[in-house]
Every structure is written in C-alpha cells, then in structure tokens.
Structure 1
C-alpha cells in the first residue's frame, strides 16, 4: 500500500484527483465498516471528547445536571466522518502536485480571534518578528502551511521520520513543493535549529504537538483525562520569549465561485487563537513553566477539537488509559499511582 501511495505522490497527474479521492473514501468506509484496530482507537479517543463536551454543555445549562452518555450511534457516525476526513487528507496530499496555486488557495482560508494579531506580529512591514504555533493532527495541515506563506509568513516545521524511506521522501517532497522548509524528527540539535529559524524575521514554526513521538513528553489535562503532548511549542515559546499561538483546522462545505475554483466540495478553515501570554509564567522555574504553558495551549486547542471532533485524525493511543506507562520516561508519580489504582 505504501508503495502505491508513494507512486501516486510522485505521479500526481496520472490519475484525476476525484478518482483518487473516491478510492480513498471507499477505503475509509471499508475500514470503518470492518472496525479495524485504528477505528476502534479513534472511537476510544472520540468518546473522551464527546463525553467531555456533553458534560460541559450540561454544566452550562444546569450545573447539577448529569451529562447524557454518548450513544453508540453518535460515536459511530462521527468516527465514520473522522475516517473519511482522514483519508481525504491523504488523497489531497498525494495529488497536490496536480493543483496550481489558485486552486489550493481556494481550498483554505484563515479565521479566528488570533489571526489578525499573528499577521500583525509577523508582518514584514512591522517589527519583523516570528512565532511558534501549537496545533494537532486535524484537517489538512499541509494546506495550512501552504496558505500561511501568502497570508501570514513562510513556514519551517518538523515532519516525522518514517521508517519507510520511499514514503518519507514522498511526503517531504509534497511539503517542500507547497513552500515549507522541513526538518525531521531525530535531527541533531532540532530544538536549536527551530530556535534559529524563529530568530529570523517573518517566519512561522507550527508544530503538530497533540501526540509526542519520543519517549519524553508533557502530561496535561484534556477532555476529562490526561494526554501526553510534545514539549516543543512550550519550550520554543519560553526559551525565545515569543508569543505562542494555537491553530485548529476543520473542514467546511464550499459553494459558488469558491467551490468551482477549488474543484472540490469541501475546503478548510485554519482557525488561529491566542496568543498564550508567556510572560505570565516567567516567575516559575523552567520545567514548571513549560508544563504550565503546555497546559495553557492545550486548553485552547481542546475547545477547537470539541467543536469539530470529526476532523481530529487521532488514530493512535493518546489518553492515559491507553498508554503503556512502563515504556515512557519522566512519568509523574501521581499518574503512576492513578494507573495502578485503575488497574
């Protein structure tokens, strides 16, 4: 399968995009119907989000009212939407070489209460500052990076070093074709290289941080449980003193001239929030400050996930209940005790 995907990515004009999209949507539906392991994990993750959202909604109406449990039909409906969103991302990534600038820009727009602030902060006509952004595996983050270079600033980011070299080369090529500078996980002195990028004017460093890929990470509260996120966004913001923004990306149905220009029924919204005020945490020692900043951005990000859970592509274990804590480092004793108590 990976060889086929790499071939499509390297020959994006051979098959029409609608054919590739249709094939991936069919594959998504088959995986969902068979309820393969990744679908079951997606549903476990979504249950946390939907239960937390229901409790929050019930508390807003009546602080004493218990939230109704998430029904299986609701969970299955949203997990199907999630699988179709996830596979759509792959079909778009693999065929991006067949689209021109105008078509891609018609598929993505910016929004959010932090967008104007981010544009002003990174403007080449202003103070010429750069900014880190915390974001998750949601929507189409490749389109985000492409859009940002035109409306905000050029992007330097990190991609996972895949074991399959052919797929790794294909995805790095896709993102470089979209105008991004790509560094790989495991690159020596990676944090220092990202700080160096942020030291230059008019640069964005967005990091997919809702899942930590190393044996290290920061445990924070989210959706009524505990998740483990990457330390990168908080570390960069604390060490550079730059404000930390948060981005959520979700799909929207297109219509009219924009739909015709995009040549697809759905586009994306990159919703920018923040910034997180790093100065609030200067009085803390560094490790405590990084934890507090991580919690702060996750609090903002979680609201965006709850608003559009169907576009959160988290098919891997992320919540404390699903993690093998014996394989992780620096696990707080309180979490180990909780895990033992829960069996």
Structure 2
C-alpha cells in the first residue's frame, strides 16, 4: 500500500464528505482494527495497563476500544483541519489554565510546552498560533519521505513552523526560537526517539522519554509548561458553531520549577517534574493517550536498551 498516496488523498478529499459520514467511517475503522487485535492495539493495551494497574484485563480491553476510536478521530480531524474556518477552530477548542501559558509568554518571552501523544495536538497548534504565539515545533521524519513532506506541508498550512527531527542544527534552531522571544515551542516527548532520552518514573514504572523539553528550557532560559490535550463531546450552540460533535480541551499546567545543579542534573529534575504531571493526566484521561509504541523500560528489548544506556553514558 502506498501510504503517502493514501494520506495525500485523505487530505485532499476528506473535507468534501459530510462530517457525520467521516465520523461513522472512522469509528468503523477503529472498531475493526480493535477487533483484529493488531500489534498497535496490543501495545496500546499494555501501555494502558502500566498506567492503570487497578484495571482488570477486560476493563483495559474496553478502554483500548475507546482509545482506538479517539486515535482515528485525531486522523479524521487532521484530514479536514485545513478546511475549517477560524471560527470553527475557536469553537472546537476549550482552554484550561490559560493563565499559565500567558504568564510564561509575558514580556515577549517564549515558552516550551512538554506534551504527550494525547488528544489532537495539530488542532491545538492551529488555535494557539493566532491566540497565544506563533508555534515552532519538531516532527519525526516519517517514511516514506513523501509522507513526511505531506505532514510538514499540512502543519505549515496551519501556521505551525516545523523542523525535522534529526536534521542538522535542529536544537540550535529551537534555542534561537526560544531566545528570540514570542514563540510557543511544543514538543511531543513521551517517547524517546533519539536514544538520548532520560529515564524517569512514569506512573510507578520506569520509562524513557525525550530530553528535549527540559534541555530547550534550560538552554533557552525559558519556562517549561506541561500541557495535556483531550477530546470532549460538544453540544448545543458550541456544537453548531464547531460543525462537529467533538472538540478538544487544551490544558496548561503550572510551569516546572527551575532546577539547581549542572545542566544534566537540571534536565533530569525538570524532566521528572513534567512527567509527574503527565502521569497524573494519563491516569485521568487514559483513552486520549495515542501511544502504540513501547515506552516503558520493561517492554524494551534488553540488548537494545543496554546499548542505548551505554551510548548515553548511563552504563
């Protein structure tokens, strides 16, 4: 299957279908995927079981069904996001803790947002650019390259400036963006993609997450704001204005306190602090966590994990 062509087709034509039709189609696709118990579904269930150990296997299984529906909902919304009016985007986004973001951005400063793969971060970015500050972020380089280019073009069409993970000078560009002021720098960081992450405690289990948010906050001397996103059903007048049955809640938490010590110690302390906030959010909004990959140390391949630690100077 030509995945890039499939995504290109969806971005071009999905917006031409009535919203209820797309909603029903994505719900069916999610349920079929869930019933087939694909590798991604099983990994989602394993991750859910880690953060919610009190649940029975049957309860985890039921929760993963809702998780897959919300995961497919994210893609449905992404495929039609470019066609939304500013008024529709405004109606689809509700903000909690906005004062934390505005305080971090006060006096023309920038702010780093530490995010997990929750809710719809593209919709959040489309809202944040006109309402808070221009967004600068990093995207994983997807395969094939044509698919990555589609994602980048899509996000830039929303006013989100995107750098490619692993490209030369990415971190320096982020630091310049942070020090230049007046920017939001959201980083999806609940999974280590660089083999240079930081090991933390996530809901009582050891996990490896990206060092980027804390490293950028320290290097740029800006606030690090943990941020969560989750879906909520819309009703009444807001639903009519949004043109959708679903919207998101964008929740900003209080900035992570500045840590003491050398740079490595600061990064470790601040990373654990934002992960603590993320963990509480995941317990509350588990089905909004679109994590179909390995995060927890006990799920990693032992050989590769040992090599990762050695490469990071932890062995």
Q: TM-score, normalised by structure 1?
A: 0.86
- Aligned twin of 1:240: 220
- Aligned twin of 1:257: 237
* 1:102 and 2:87 are equivalent in the alignment: yes
Cα deviation, 1:201-229, whole Å, max 9, x if unaligned, reads 21100000001112221110011111110
Q: CA deviation at 1:37?
A: 1.0
Q: Distance in 2 between matches of 1:209 and 1:302?
A: 13
* 1:200 and 2:168 are equivalent in the alignment: no
Q: CA deviation at 1:275?
A: 0.4
- Aligned twin of 1:58: none
For the Cα contact (< 8 Å) 1:248–1:301, is it kept in 2?
A: yes
How do residues 110-259 of structure 1 correspond to structure 2 at under 5 angstroms?
110-112=95-97, 115-123=98-106, 127-259=107-239
For the Cα contact (< 8 Å) 2:15–2:79, is it kept in 1?
A: no
For the Cα contact (< 8 Å) 2:92–2:242, is it kept in 1?
A: yes
Q: Bigger CA drift: 156-165 or 167-176? A: 167-176
Cα deviation, 1:301-327, whole Å, max 9, x if unaligned, reads 111111100000001011111112422
Q: Distance in 1 between matches of 2:96 and 2:246?
A: 16
Q: CA deviation at 1:332?
A: 7.4
Unaligned stretches of 5+ in structure 2?
none
Secondary structure of 1:227's counterpart equals strand
* 1:297 and 2:274 are equivalent in the alignment: yes
Q: TM-score, normalised by structure 2?
A: 0.93
How do residues 19-98 of structure 1 correspond to structure 2 at under 5 angstroms?
19-51=21-53, 54=54, 70-98=55-83
User: In terms of Rg, which structure is larger?
Assistant: 1
Paired residues in the alignment total: 310
For the Cα contact (< 8 Å) 2:100–2:253, is it kept in 1?
A: no
Q: Distance in 2 between matches of 1:152 and 1:277?
A: 22
Unaligned stretches of 5+ in structure 1?
55-69, 338-343
Cα deviation, 1:69-119, whole Å, max 9, x if unaligned, reads x2122111110010000011011111212221111221112103xx20321
Q: Distance in 2 between matches of 1:45 and 1:319?
A: 8
For the Cα contact (< 8 Å) 1:325–1:331, is it kept in 2?
A: no
For the Cα contact (< 8 Å) 1:21–1:92, is it kept in 2?
A: no
